[in-house]
Structure 1
Amino acid sequence: MTPALDPITLALVQNRLDHISHQMGWVMTRTARSPIFSQSHDFSCFLADARGTLISQADGIPIHTGGGGFAVRAVLRDFKDAIAPEDVFLLNDPYTAGGNHLPDWVIARPVFVKGKLVAFTCNRAHQVDIGGGAAGSYNSAATEIFHEGIRLPVLKLIEAGQTRDDLWRLLLLNTRLPEAVDGDLRAMIGSTRIGAERLALLVEEVGPDHADEFFEGVLAHADRRFRASCSRLAKGVWRADESVDNDCFQSIDGRITVTLTVSESGLIVDFEGTSPQVRGFKNSSVANSTSAVFMALASFFEPDLPKNEGAFRSVEIRLPEGTLVNARPPAPMTMNTNFVGHEIVQVVWKALGQALPERASAGWSKGLRSITAGLRPDGDRYVMYQWPAAPAAGAIEGRDGFHLIGGLITLGGLALPNLETYEHLYPVRFRRHELRCDSAGPGRFRGGAGCDYEVEILTPADYAFCSEGVGAPSGFGATGGKAGAGGEIEISLADGTTIRPPRYGVERHGPARYHAVSPGGGGFGDPKTRDPWSVLHDVRDGIVSAAAAEMEYGVVIAQDGRTIDEARTRKLRRAFP
């Protein structure tokens, strides 16, 4: 290694790259128009080198960024030598442009220093509406990608600093919320401009002729770190699967199946045996499936592992064509970042947990998501994402699961919005948003609790239901832990009728009360070995009822509700002092 590429300098370069990603995210949060960005942070910023290799994904949602290199490589493929300073590219298509699903638009800005292309700054953001058959662009009734909204190949949105007004008008014509999309696109473009300015300064410091060497240095370092982590895995072949019990229209007996081969040379992650693609919009693209695998691998080990594409040079991913993890066109795909993205992560975690049991994780629960759209009293259209009905995380050795959190594929990166802001923006009134008692999976380390969420929708509205977490428990237990509770949704109409909507579907209802209880995460380890004082704290916090404390944990709560009945607890437990 040359003196210029010593470990300290490389660490500083990686930190600078990650800081630039964070700066881009701060710009986006402060300037975007839609609450989906300004509050919930459903976007991700990342950097790629001149070859389209991801060199930083420090800000955002993991399912967005792990496959970011596919998008940049599509830009390089389609425009080759027609990439110039002050160009800005736009894309979303999962079949032709390296997209994961259509609502996630990617802005990619090339970075030039002294006339040389050195990198790209990118922002992938989930647009509030891109047309299609349902407001909010989660069309649960879709059976082909043409039902899901506008498809964008790699397009040059800005050419040599001049915005293509014809293309801009086309984009705004294909959304129900043109004002919001207009502002959000400008925020995305602005964030990549700030990132490009900062990245150009870094390249100038290391020298434009040496930028590739430094970028290769951080990628090679990530490779070494990840290989060192994988050396702790038991060598061999490990198999796991996750069920997929519906195709958005009917029950099916589907599976995501993985075979993980661990050898001295690296990992093979093979999805042979996975079920064929389905009729509904849960099919995954190559970019999305790859991103989910990268996310599962990176999150299984130490949190300080470098998050760039170099980390996965020793990983071979096999995605059989025509299956749920690599669908053929024109299969619909909008739900794939959530499901089957969730199942891909879980199944890889299960296989890794066999090879390194002390790092195993109980299951994260599956979410309840509905998009509600209608008219405000002033006649303007609105689209509200029901993020607050959030799922919960599974427990691991040494840590309880996180309570209602932004879904597995975000690893908590999706923030729950401020309900007061929602009441200001939309014709709604919130009645309840609290932790759900007895939803968390019992274990030595308890799963996270789901939520009890109730909101009044004050005007007639369209509902797009995407509620995978309804029904049977989805947050499975591990090593003796138990599953968290399943989820439920009901809608109470003005005439007193109560209905249970389908897990997937598009319906219209008049003013109504929407009530959801989201599922809990799985527990880890035998519940009877949980620290009794931790059980007491859970009871006092409303996470566990006194009855469940006795039944599941063998801990008897005294009548005052604030102490443990030690004598009765000793009769139920051997390990209580």
Structure 2
Amino acid sequence: MTTALDPVTLGVIQNGLQQVCNEMDLAFCRAAFSPVIAEAMDRSDGIYAAEDGALIAQGDLGLPVFVGTMQYGTQAVIERVADPQPDDVIICNDPYLGGTHLMDVRFYRPFFYDGELFCWLANTGHWPDTGGMVPGGFSARATEVEQEGLRIPPVKLFKRGELDPEILAIIQSNIRIADQRIGDIKAQAAALKIGDKRLAALLDRYGKDTVAQAIKELRERAARLMRATIAEVPDGTYYGEAFVDSDGVVDEPLKIAMTITVDGDEMTFDMAGSSPPCRGPMNSVIATTRSSIYLAIKHVFPNVPLNAGTYEPLKIVDPKGTFLYAEYPRPVSGCAAEVSQRIAEAVFAALTKAIPDRLFAAPAGSSGNFALGGYDPDKGRSYVMYVISGGGYGGHPGGDGLTNGCSTIGISKSQPIEVLEQYYPVLFERYALAEGSGGAGEHRGGFGINYRVRVRRGEARASMVMDHGRTGPQGVLGGGDGGANQVRFEFADGRVHVPAHLSKEQDITVLPGDVIDVRTPGGGGYGDPAKRAAERIEDDRVKGYYGESGPDAPFGRRD
């Protein structure tokens, strides 16, 4: 029988594993060329078990939605890549093999110690473009995955440390702005190499057997703590639902039906009754669907440490036959950034009925995916700009929701507009609160943002896959819904265009002087608005958050 590690050694190794991931995160974002990785931090790094790909540790600076997907992606690599060697790096972006959308490109590096495979190091980075119908990959009207970009199966991009020029040539020949991707590729691979060195140092210090024992104990402890946490939730069956505005092709809402059954120290999630597979790009692959539930539970129970053990008590019934179980060739560009957040919203709505004192109204729940691709005549080169935007968080028992918070699925943030203006031929004329967008409540929702970006030079094509344009984020316990997502094109010739699908559109030609105006969702309200403290109402009025002193009336809203 193996003797349990003393708490000090266990804690040091736990933090050591975390530090390895954090250093990979920092190296990746500091070396990457693309602002979406370097500034918006749309990426993640982690350590995964050699035998089954189970999560061992993930960086603090990584997107939570990748917690589950990278675990399933590592499993796919283990099953499909024969004879991994030291310094190999496998690339894959296939959504159906433990992925998200095609722009999230995953690298995997086998970690060997004393000549034996000990674990896998992996990371994901959002590339600004992987080909497809529109710059940026967010094709709102795609009906098959090939229209969204280049799909790469698990192949060795680096073989024993040497970049394979033939595979690189295939990739570069099928994506836009290919010459700039080599910087992201080398940054992504270098991050894993740093992880290899740091993890080897940790094993040198404590020994392979001791670290392996610590990993096993940490997983068991996380599972026990999650079970103890679930046991505090009243047994019962709880139902919640959320809606995707449309799939971008058919202008009808998609329903997410979430039934959560709490039985002792386990939770079961059943999505039967959700909408069938859709024609457009709002299908979700199963890895993303599962990961969305995982991250939602981590929002509700933030104190449980993060590894594969955390999710052992969570039983998910595969939603086959629905748009939440996408199979080839269904398009999926909206699954990671949008559908995942609707799934989390449905989980929150269900659990609010069980533990209202620990829950909150729905957050903005949209990453605001906006892509602009064109040619800059002054710089003599093409470009693809991808913008992430924040929104309001929901009100909660302790107070009002956060304003301009990051998306539910991650810590990705809006890139500094000064950086975007330096890289691309655009001018941000406005970047401010979307006043009035917070849902009313005893504790109101936080506000989204309103930005206006003007094209300065050259012709470009604009595309977006957002959500919450039909209805805003849900209020709870009597609180009002948050403000909806709104997009408007204002052309220099006086024309105005509001997308038919409100927050989903593709291939809108824009010229110098044309403006894209976006208002992101505010968070839902928590509790009866009549119970809001008078001084807080007055404070909102004085600051002009609501009423006549706020911005112009919203445009394009549809109830």
TM-score, normalised to structure 2's length? 0.93
- Whole-Å Cα distance in 2 between the matches of residues 205 and 6 of structure 1? 16
- Whole-Å Cα distance in 1 between the matches of residues 370 and 161 of structure 2? 39
Classify 1:399/1:6 alpha carbon distance in 2 versus 1 (closer, same or farther; 3 Å).
farther
Match of 2:557 in 1: none
What is the aligned counterpart of 1:490 among 488, 491, 496?
488
What is the aligned counterpart of 1:531 among 517, 533, 542?
533
Q: Is the 8 A contact 2:387 2:415 kept in 1?
A: no
Classify 1:488/1:546 alpha carbon distance in 2 versus 1 (closer, same or farther; 3 Å).
closer
- 1:259-306 deviations in whole A, cap 9, x for unaligned? 2111125111111111111000111111111110100111111x2321
What is the aligned counterpart of 1:543 among 518, 530, 545?
545
Match of 1:570 in 2: none
- What displacement does 1:253 show? 4.5
- Aligned to 1:29, the other structure's residue is in SS state helix
- Whole-Å Cα distance in 1 between the matches of residues 466 and 75 of structure 2? 34
Match of 2:348 in 1: 349
- Whole-Å Cα distance in 1 between the matches of residues 56 and 443 of structure 2? 36
- Whole-Å Cα distance in 1 between the matches of residues 265 and 420 of structure 2? 51
- 1:32-89 deviations in whole A, cap 9, x for unaligned? 0010011111111111121211011233111122221111111111124x01211111
Listed as ranges, the matches of 1:359-378 within 5 Å are 359-367=358-366, 368-377=368-377, 378=379
Q: Is the 8 A contact 2:345 2:365 kept in 1?
A: no
- 1:124-183 deviations in whole A, cap 9, x for unaligned? 111111001111111112100111111111111111222211111111112111122110
Match of 1:152 in 2: 152
Match of 2:460 in 1: 461
- Aligned to 1:267, the other structure's residue is in SS state strand
Match of 1:129 in 2: 129
- 1:368-404 deviations in whole A, cap 9, x for unaligned? 432111111223111112324x322112110321112
Listed as ranges, the matches of 1:264-279 within 5 Å are 264-279=264-279
- 1:488-547 deviations in whole A, cap 9, x for unaligned? 221111211122133322222222011112221111112232333333443444434488
- Whole-Å Cα distance in 1 between the matches of residues 117 and 343 of structure 2? 35
Amino acid at match of 1:306: P
Question: Which shows bigger deviation, 84-93 or 203-212?
Answer: 203-212
Match of 2:521 in 1: 519
Classify 1:67/1:183 alpha carbon distance in 2 versus 1 (closer, same or farther; 3 Å).
same
- 1:447-503 deviations in whole A, cap 9, x for unaligned? 11011211111232101122323243x211111211112232211112111221333
Q: Is the 8 A contact 2:223 2:310 kept in 1?
A: yes
Listed as ranges, the matches of 1:34-433 within 5 Å are 34-51=34-51, 52-58=53-59, 59-80=61-82, 82-95=83-96, 97-301=97-301, 303-367=302-366, 368-377=368-377, 378-388=379-389, 390-410=390-410, 413-433=411-431
Q: Is the 8 A contact 1:392 1:407 kept in 2?
A: no
- Aligned to 1:348, the other structure's residue is in SS state helix
- Whole-Å Cα distance in 1 between the matches of residues 365 and 268 of structure 2? 27
- Whole-Å Cα distance in 1 between the matches of residues 352 and 69 of structure 2? 24
Question: Which shows bigger deviation, 243-252 or 24-33?
Answer: 243-252
Amino acid at match of 2:330: A
Amino acid at match of 1:263: D
Match of 1:481 in 2: 479
- Whole-Å Cα distance in 1 between the matches of residues 92 and 38 of structure 2? 22
Classify 1:402/1:337 alpha carbon distance in 2 versus 1 (closer, same or farther; 3 Å).
same
- Aligned to 1:432, the other structure's residue is in SS state strand
- Whole-Å Cα distance in 2 between the matches of residues 29 and 245 of structure 1? 33
Amino acid at match of 1:188: Q
Structure 1: segments with no counterpart, 5+ residues: 549-577
- Whole-Å Cα distance in 1 between the matches of residues 418 and 250 of structure 2? 37
- Whole-Å Cα distance in 2 between the matches of residues 379 and 141 of structure 1? 30
Match of 1:575 in 2: none
Mark the structure with the bigger radius of gyration: 1
- Aligned to 2:316, the other structure's residue is in SS state strand
- Whole-Å Cα distance in 1 between the matches of residues 537 and 66 of structure 2? 37
Q: Percent identity?
A: 31
- Whole-Å Cα distance in 2 between the matches of residues 450 and 265 of structure 1? 37
- Whole-Å Cα distance in 2 between the matches of residues 69 and 55 of structure 1? 9
Amino acid at match of 2:217: G
- Whole-Å Cα distance in 1 between the matches of residues 56 and 543 of structure 2? 43
Q: Is the 8 A contact 2:228 2:265 kept in 1?
A: no
- What displacement does 1:313 show? 0.9
- Whole-Å Cα distance in 2 between the matches of residues 364 and 2 of structure 1? 46
- Whole-Å Cα distance in 1 between the matches of residues 465 and 245 of structure 2? 14
Q: Is the 8 A contact 1:133 1:148 kept in 2?
A: yes
- Aligned to 2:107, the other structure's residue is in SS state strand
Q: Is the 8 A contact 1:471 1:488 kept in 2?
A: no
Q: Is the 8 A contact 1:278 1:324 kept in 2?
A: yes
Q: Is the 8 A contact 1:322 1:328 kept in 2?
A: no
Classify 1:253/1:415 alpha carbon distance in 2 versus 1 (closer, same or farther; 3 Å).
closer
Q: Is the 8 A contact 1:49 1:215 kept in 2?
A: no
- What displacement does 1:332 show? 0.5
Task: List 4+ stretches of structure 1 deviating above 4 A.
Answer: 1-4, 545-548
Q: Is the 8 A contact 1:100 1:286 kept in 2?
A: no
- Whole-Å Cα distance in 1 between the matches of residues 7 and 510 of structure 2? 61
- Whole-Å Cα distance in 1 between the matches of residues 6 and 267 of structure 2? 28
- 1:410-436 deviations in whole A, cap 9, x for unaligned? 2xx011111111111111111110112
- Aligned to 1:246, the other structure's residue is in SS state coil
- Residue 16 (structure 2) pairs with residue 16 (structure 1): yes
Amino acid at match of 1:76: I
Listed as ranges, the matches of 1:434-473 within 5 Å are 434-458=432-456, 459-472=458-471
Aligned length in residues? 541
Q: Is the 8 A contact 1:116 1:208 kept in 2?
A: no
- What displacement does 1:309 show? 1.3
Classify 1:17/1:532 alpha carbon distance in 2 versus 1 (closer, same or farther; 3 Å).
farther
- Aligned to 1:241, the other structure's residue is in SS state strand
